[in-house]
Amino acid sequence: MTEKIGVLGKKSAQRTQRSGVERVVNAPLPTVYGEFRAIGYMDHDRGDEQVALVYGEIGTEDVLTRLHSECLTGDAFGSQHCECGDQLASALRAVVAAGSGIVVYLRGHEGRGIGLLAKLRAMALQAEGLDTVEANLALGLPVDARDYGVAAGILHDLGVASVRLLSNNPRKREALLRHGIQVAEQVPLLIPPCEDNITYLRTKRERLDHHLPHLDAVAHLS
Spatial CA neighbour of 171 closest among 134, 139, 210: 210
**Active site amino acids:** 144, 146
How far apart are the C-alpha atoms of 211 and 195, rounded to whole Å? Answer: 19
Residue type present at position 107: R
The phi and psi torsions of 164 (rounded to 5 degrees) equal -100, 110
* Number of other residues whose CB lies within 10 A of the CB of residue 199: 17
135 burial via Cβ count (<10 Å: 0-12, 13-18, 19+): buried
